[in-house]
Structure 1
Amino acid sequence: MSIARALGNAVSGLTATARGTETVAANLANAATPGYARRELAVSAQTAGGNAGGVRVDGVTRAVNASVLSESRLAEAARAEASTRLAFATTIEDQIGIAGNAGSLGAALTDFQTALSSAASRPDDEIRLTQAVDKAQALASRLNAASDQVQAARSAADQAIATNVATLNKSLAEVAHLNRRITVMEADGSDPSSLIDQRQGIISEISKIVPVQEVTRAAGAVALFTTGGAVLLDGTTPTAFGFDAAGQVTVGQTVGSGLALLTQNGIDLTQAQMRLYAGGSLAANFAIRDELAPAVQASLDDLAYDLHERLADPAVDGTLTATSAGLFTDDGVRASLADKTGLAGRISLNTAVIESEGGDVWRLRSGLAASAEGAVGDATLLVAMSDALNQATAALAGTGFSGKASLADRLGTVESQVSTARVNAQSDAAIRNGQADTIWSRLAADGVDSDAEMQRLLQYEQAYAANARVIQAIQTMMDQILGI
């Protein structure tokens, strides 16, 4: 081997070790950086005329397990969807309360029934009558608050959809921009690894909103599709999504009647097309707004209607007619099955028994529509009201209840549904979190291992020293030759 070739080999070795130490330094510096992929130096033997010619640096590669990365994104989408549903279920359970807990809807009903029984035992005691009125008002207020919370959750979900869409559009535009920059850097031979890391992080954030499948295109670009097959980005222009937020969602608003779905490039999507975007926080927020919250509202409305009908029955209070407002009213009038939607938010106590509204508490004893106060010792109506609440009656037509049950049993059914929904959501979230964490651990295993990086650094140091000794030997030989 000639001295010139030996020198060239040694110089190429020094260049490779210098690049190698740079990759090690970058790996160690970014070991905890989200989205950073471990760098590896790609080298090969350089040949010249069939003879060894040193080391050629082919570039720096990113060590990423594409299949695990794809699984991780899908798992994060499932985690985001489950956590969004769990937050809603927990909020509703906290508002309605667990059976037996102070401040719950069940506790309010129990307090009212207890107050009625107490008043029935001493119908002449106006303090007890007043307490029964207060507890009835508290029960109506608890129903109102639960209904308001359901609609607040729908409004929050509607706003979250708007935020998701804005983030999705912004992120897709950033990925398209990075695609163009990466393509340019690939063309001029530069290392685009840092831009690819940045793009990977953005795509991972998109996947929390909508599950994403990444497809590699030419020159380092990528295309993005949902798992349902909808195109998010394939080319230079991303899909533009639109959404008209309703602001404050009210009872009775549905899709097409005050509430909107997504638009894609200016075209309204149908319910069937929305399935292409299933999974992730976007789908969870649509489910809360359009399915989960309305179902809870319907149960509360059924409960309020059952309460209203039990105490508006002329068989219970003989002073009432079939059209009279009972102890509980729909904003002052008798409730009707046709207008049952949203009744839980409107139900209120009849002002005929509220002294601050010009009413008289003795009407709770003598009859809501009585023309004059009856005997102070007559507990017939109070007992009838208490019995009406406790009686196991058939489910009213048009409600979601079935079979015979007392009002407390009906409420127990609603509480059970709400608690079961929360438990199921919590269980699903735990499963999704476990899956996501497991896959993330597998992805992290391919990340930066500081011990392995230090070992590589020692190897580069040894290679550097070996090449430096070759150059030193060549210098000694040249000095001897020149000294002859």
Structure 2
Amino acid sequence: MSLTSAMLTAQSSIAARSAEMAIASRNVANVNNPSYARQEAVVQNIVTDTGSVVYVSHASRMVNQAAFKATLKSGSAAIASGSYANMLDQLNPSGQVPFGMSVASSIGSLNEALVAYGNDPSNQVLGQSAINSANAVVNDIKQSAESLKSTRLEADAAMGRAVDNINNILSDLEGVNNKIVSGSAAGKDVNALMDQRDEMLKVLSEEIGIEVLDQDNNGVAVYTDSGITLFEKSPREVSFDTSLSLGSGEVGKNVLVDGIAVAGPGATAPVSGGAIAGYAKVRDDALVTMQTQLDETAKALVDIFQEHEPAAAGVGDGLFTFVVGAGDLVSRLEVNSAVDPAKGGDVKLLRDGGINGATYKHNTDDNAGYSDLLKSYETAFNQERTFDPVSGVNPTSTLKDFAANTVSWFSAERKMATESSTLDASAFNSNAQMLSNKTGVNIDTEMQRLLTIETAYSASARLMTAVDRMFQELLGAVR
């Protein structure tokens, strides 16, 4: 080998080692960046008649599409189940009694108050206690209904924020994806752009379940996990209208992708992953069921205490009534003003009858010890009745058992949601760790690589120094 060839080899080796060192240093600098994919120098060797030259042609980005897509999918599932569980937790803060327990307890207290009044019907203090218990039932039902309405609206608003975020991400994704495609076609380094796009896809998958399809020149197309196109060269429109009210019987709006419903009660291609899926499940399934449970409770109370004409077929509202006006059933549930002294009523009408007029009076002799009507209410209170199966619990039970069953239903649903969230989070963490192991930066490995590069650099530098000395000696001899 000539001195010139040796010098060229040494110089190219130093340049290659410098490029390798820059790439390894970049890896070390991003060791704590979860969006960064490890890069490795691709070293080429060219042999010619005059010698050999080594150079770094490009930095290869370490990717594992299977692991990346598995991480997206499991992360999306974890966010869906987590958002669902968190919304249910809001209805039952830590340390408080299960949601619905106050209603079940107040119904039990009302039954006890009726029994006490029936055993001593001349004692109007006990009569007033029964009215107070009835008002407590109404208040607890209304407070529970308001909590459900508020939580449904919160889930609805969260869906709106998620849609806004999705549209922003898709808009940004278009620009980054175009740069990657054009840069790849031109042979440019697009590694940083691909890291940026992967981070966008991760955030997008947190909002809505997605599937990613690879295209030419490192481009991608993105679909919902139900198969609807979100992005293919350009973003699709994702739209959603938030609701102003979501009381019982009120239906939330759908999330639309290119006009196709992907979340909501009318979804034809419902997504299963992402926060949107979790929020929709809360808004349209669980809380709607719970609103039905409260509606059924309210209807049962009105029905149990209905007044019947003793000598005719007339029927009218008794202790409880639905006042005329706007709003759902629960919002219109009230203790009948005719028996509530606070509203100018007479407690004894509950004992004697006549809430709906003289023809409904049972205690026509005004006997202070009359208890037949109160006993009939007790009997009706403890009789099995049929509830709407949509309520999700045993449709044939007493009112007390129905109320207790709704508490159990919520506790079981919350427990299952928490368990699912924990399992999904564990699956995501496992996939994320696997992805990190395959494409992430290991600081020990990179430091060892830097030492190896430094050793090679030093050897090339020594060779270059030796060749330079030989040149100097040769030139000195010529002089």
Give TM-score scaled by structure 2 length: 0.88
Is the alpha carbon distance of 1:203 and 1:322 closer, same or farther for their aligned partners in structure 2, counting shifts above 3 Å? farther
What is the CA distance between 1:17 and its match in structure 2?
A: 1.7
Task: State the distance in 1 between where 2:386 and 2:270 align.
Answer: 39
Is the alpha carbon distance of 1:72 and 1:273 closer, same or farther for their aligned partners in structure 2, counting shifts above 3 Å? same
Structure-1 residue corresponding to 2:38: 38
Is the alpha carbon distance of 1:284 and 1:483 closer, same or farther for their aligned partners in structure 2, counting shifts above 3 Å? same
What is the CA distance between 1:8 and its match in structure 2?
A: 1.7
User: Is 1:464 the equivalent of 2:454?
Assistant: no
Structure-2 residue corresponding to 1:241: 238
Is the alpha carbon distance of 1:402 and 1:83 closer, same or farther for their aligned partners in structure 2, counting shifts above 3 Å? closer
Task: State the distance in 1 between where 2:454 and 2:384 align.
Answer: 87
Task: State the distance in 2 between where 1:272 and 1:398 align.
Answer: 21
Task: State the distance in 2 between where 1:52 and 1:58 align.
Answer: 19
Determine if contact 1:86/1:429 at 8 Å carries over to the other structure.
yes
- 1:226-263 per-residue CA deviation (whole Å, 9 max, x = no partner) reads 2332211111x211111222232233223xxxx43233
Task: State the distance in 1 between where 2:202 and 2:176 align.
Answer: 14
Q: 1:81-96 maps to which residues of 2 (within 5 A)?
A: 81-92=80-91
Q: 1:255-266 maps to which residues of 2 (within 5 A)?
A: 259-265=252-258
Q: 1:381-400 maps to which residues of 2 (within 5 A)?
A: 381-390=373-382, 392-395=383-386
Is the alpha carbon distance of 1:311 and 1:438 closer, same or farther for their aligned partners in structure 2, counting shifts above 3 Å? same
Is the alpha carbon distance of 1:387 and 1:129 closer, same or farther for their aligned partners in structure 2, counting shifts above 3 Å? same
Q: 1:212-227 maps to which residues of 2 (within 5 A)?
A: 212-227=210-225
Q: Report % sequence identity.
A: 24
Determine if contact 1:115/1:132 at 8 Å carries over to the other structure.
yes
Task: State the distance in 2 between where 1:313 and 1:395 align.
Answer: 20
User: Is 1:53 the equivalent of 2:43?
Assistant: no
Task: State the distance in 2 between where 1:191 and 1:404 align.
Answer: 69
- Report the residue type matching 1:71 in the other structure: A
- Report the residue type matching 1:37 in the other structure: A
- 1:143-186 per-residue CA deviation (whole Å, 9 max, x = no partner) reads 11222222223222222222121111111111111012223443
SS in 2 for 1:277: coil
2:181 counterpart (180, 183, 190): 183
Structure-1 residue corresponding to 2:343: 357
Task: State the distance in 1 between where 2:273 and 2:66 align.
Answer: 19
- 1:268-311 per-residue CA deviation (whole Å, 9 max, x = no partner) reads 54878642533322233333333332222222212221222111
Determine if contact 2:228/2:269 at 8 Å carries over to the other structure.
no
Determine if contact 2:227/2:269 at 8 Å carries over to the other structure.
no
**More displaced, 62-71 or 286-295?**
286-295
SS in 1 for 2:316: coil
1:329 counterpart (304, 317, 321): 321
Task: State the distance in 2 between where 1:268 and 1:187 align.
Answer: 34
Structure-2 residue corresponding to 1:312: 306
Is the alpha carbon distance of 1:434 and 1:477 closer, same or farther for their aligned partners in structure 2, counting shifts above 3 Å? same
User: Is 1:480 the equivalent of 2:458?
Assistant: no
What is the CA distance between 1:376 and its match in structure 2?
A: 3.7
Determine if contact 2:289/2:390 at 8 Å carries over to the other structure.
no
Determine if contact 1:351/1:358 at 8 Å carries over to the other structure.
yes
> Root-mean-square deviation (CA), in Å?
3.0
Determine if contact 1:231/1:239 at 8 Å carries over to the other structure.
yes
Determine if contact 2:30/2:36 at 8 Å carries over to the other structure.
yes
**More displaced, 351-360 or 111-120?**
111-120
Structure-2 residue corresponding to 1:130: 128
User: Is 1:455 the equivalent of 2:448?
Assistant: yes
What is the CA distance between 1:215 and its match in structure 2?
A: 2.2
- 1:89-133 per-residue CA deviation (whole Å, 9 max, x = no partner) reads 3345569x867x996221111222222233334433333322221
Task: State the distance in 2 between where 1:323 and 1:332 align.
Answer: 17
Determine if contact 1:98/1:415 at 8 Å carries over to the other structure.
no
Determine if contact 1:328/1:349 at 8 Å carries over to the other structure.
yes
Structure-1 residue corresponding to 2:77: 78
Determine if contact 2:170/2:235 at 8 Å carries over to the other structure.
yes
Structure-2 residue corresponding to 1:336: none
Determine if contact 1:168/1:206 at 8 Å carries over to the other structure.
yes
Task: State the distance in 1 between where 2:53 and 2:146 align.
Answer: 76
Task: State the distance in 1 between where 2:215 and 2:42 align.
Answer: 22
**More displaced, 268-277 or 154-163?**
268-277
Q: 1:74-223 maps to which residues of 2 (within 5 A)?
A: 74-92=73-91, 104-223=102-221
What is the CA distance between 1:136 and its match in structure 2?
A: 1.1
Task: State the distance in 2 between where 1:151 and 1:303 align.
Answer: 17
Task: State the distance in 1 between where 2:337 and 2:285 align.
Answer: 35
Structure-2 residue corresponding to 1:296: 290
Is the alpha carbon distance of 1:403 and 1:453 closer, same or farther for their aligned partners in structure 2, counting shifts above 3 Å? closer
Number of equivalenced pairs: 466
What is the CA distance between 1:350 and its match in structure 2?
A: 1.0
- 1:422-474 per-residue CA deviation (whole Å, 9 max, x = no partner) reads 22222221221121111111112121111111101110110111111011101
What is the CA distance between 1:368 and its match in structure 2?
A: 5.2
Is the alpha carbon distance of 1:405 and 1:319 closer, same or farther for their aligned partners in structure 2, counting shifts above 3 Å? farther
- 1:48-86 per-residue CA deviation (whole Å, 9 max, x = no partner) reads 24x752322121122122101100000011111111222
Determine if contact 1:144/1:344 at 8 Å carries over to the other structure.
yes
Structure-2 residue corresponding to 1:281: 275
- 1:321-363 per-residue CA deviation (whole Å, 9 max, x = no partner) reads 7441111111269xxxxx9x94234322111222221112333
What is the CA distance between 1:402 and its match in structure 2?
A: 5.7
Segments of 5+ residues of structure 2 without an aligned counterpart are none
Is the alpha carbon distance of 1:293 and 1:52 closer, same or farther for their aligned partners in structure 2, counting shifts above 3 Å? farther
